Chain A
Amino acid sequence: MSIIEDCLRDILIEDLFVELEKDRILPSYSLRQDLGIDSLGFVELREQVEKRFNIAISDDDFKPENFSTISSLTSLINRLCGANTVRP
């Protein structure tokens, strides 16, 4: 579990009130299917990721492919920040 993935799990629990224990949220879980994130939840998730990682997520990047799992969202954050330079 990377630092980014760990931070994303914190966001899901603290800000989106996902009702799973932290260690049960796997990087491969579907944010929609397994964690029940809905439209408002994705808006909140985008805001929190932008705030915590100090990045801007464009409308073009705010799409299911990038927000499907913790892993895919981690890849997006890495791309926007520059790989291996993320300090959440």
Chain B
Amino acid sequence: MSAASRMIIDSADDLRRRISDFGDAPPKYDQIFEGYSRLALQPGSAVVIFAPNSVEFLFHWLAALANGYVPCAIAPSTKASLVSALQKSLKIAAIVGPQLDPARYQAKHFARIGAFYAVVCDRTPPSYEPFDVLMLTTGTSGSQTACVHTVESLVCNASMTNRALNITAADKQLVVLPMYHSYGLITQCIGSITSGCELKIDGPPFNAPRFADLIQKERISICGITPTIARDLLRRGTVLPALRSMSIGGDRFSREDVKSLLSKPFFNELYITYGLTEAGPRVSVLPAHIAPVETYDSVGLAFSGISTRIEMPDADGVGQLLVKTPSVCRRKVGGDMVRQPFTSDGFLETGDLFTKDSVGYLRYVARRADILIVKGEKLNTRSIDRVAELHPDVECARTTARDIDSLVMRVWAKDDKILDLEEIKRLVRSSLRLHEIPDEIVQERNDVFHK
């Protein structure tokens, strides 16, 4: 066992003192550890854990790891059909979560581990090594793929983030984002374990007044939120208690957004970060509170120890961002993986289009998947979305190809307004070239706090 694995597993003894949530007292870690031992799976067996944000979830994740299993956290709302699909594509040996129905997974028996239930569904030889960790990338790729990380790579990345954001044992961190995503689990939870800081775990529903109240009552010093939540806080004019540090995943954060946040007196330090699960996840950071104004539209510089380059840049310097990081995943599994996303010289292909200036500042342009060929013309759907987002009532827009000859744009309203779609059509028609104009625009329900 590596030193990093030992440190993470041994941390369980200390967690009750430093980590808490708002639920009932969790079962003892030792009981959960023994529960996993009784499953008697082979070392390297993958275990899906689907549970809401809680200390108990973290105990299960650590206990699975400590038993030599490979934890895979997924959303608690994941439907049984998807879990079954994951079971096959990722070769999952056991499924753990609240209110499991064994029959849905062709199992007759279940075991009780803490407040959760576990079913063993496959005892075939495992596909992974002890102290591997599976992190799903479903949220961004749309298919059931996962990254095979090691505990070492996750600890490495969390430590890089801690150093870049000056997170120490003196801090108290608040988790409001899902712990089954890489940011909540690695950057915040493992980051707190490695830094020695306190961790307060909260979960949905999120609302601005409660967020402000928690920061005050719990004396929170650091927190991370999504760009959508940050914009919502700005729009509502939310006043927060002073925070030492706020970080925001910023690949779609604008210069104006950064200026607006910096104008608020309660953010002492504001960090705009970029990352992806494959990289462990964080890659770069812009410490906006001390950065030059002209860099506000960037995601900053790569962490020390991470190399980046732009692959085949076009005339404007735009190309796929390649990343070489010590926290890269070992491989990707599941779905229709036909090749691993690595270059021959060990760089990770991010699938994101960026520019990189002479100093090294990285500026996000689009997902490579945002580049479509429709009606024989290449177009960038993000640039189309941005036009619709100029409308004062539009929160965000997403354009996709309906078929090879047409586009459909989905729009979300601010404050649940009913949008005047004819007005939006006029706006996009006035700004875009003919082949870029969506053939249909539809309003979607508001999902402000969805990642």
Contacts and interface: CB of A to CB of B under 8 A. Distances in A.
A38 B209 contact: no
Contacts of B449: 39-40, 43
Contacts of A38: 52, 75-77, 178, 204
Contacts of A60: 207, 209
A1 B448 CA distance: 33
Contacts of A67: 205
Contacts of B450: 39-40, 43
Main secondary structure of the interface of A (DSSP, over half): loop
A26 to B, nearest CB: 10
B447 A43 contact: yes
Nearest to A18: B77
Contact of A36 (B76, B202, B446): B76
B169 interface: no
B80 A19 contact: yes
Contacts of B98: 30, 33-34, 36
Contact-residue size bin, chain A (C-beta under 8 Å from the other chain): 20 to 34
Interface in B365-411: none
A39 B202 CA distance: 12
A57 B23 CA distance: 23
Interface in B21-74: 22-23, 50-54
A10 B101 CA distance: 20
B97 interface: yes
B99 interface: yes
Interface string B199-220: 0001111111110000000000
A32 B115 CA distance: 13
A39 B206 contact: yes
Contacts of A30: 23, 98
A67 B46 CA distance: 33
Nearest to B50: A36
B330 interface: no
B99 A35 contact: yes
Contact of A62 (B52, B76, B202, B207): B207
Interface of B: 22-23, 50-54, 75-80, 97-99, 101, 104, 115, 178, 202-210, 445-450
Which 5 residue pairs of A and B lie closest in terms of their CB atoms, listed nearest first? Answer: A36-B76, A42-B205, A39-B204, A32-B52, A38-B77
26 contacts: A30-B23, A32-B52, A32-B76, A32-B203, A32-B204, A33-B52, A33-B54, A34-B98, A34-B99, A35-B99, A36-B76, A36-B77, A36-B98, A37-B77, A38-B77, A39-B449, A40-B449, A42-B205, A59-B207, A62-B205, A62-B207, A63-B207, A64-B22, A64-B202, A64-B210, A67-B205
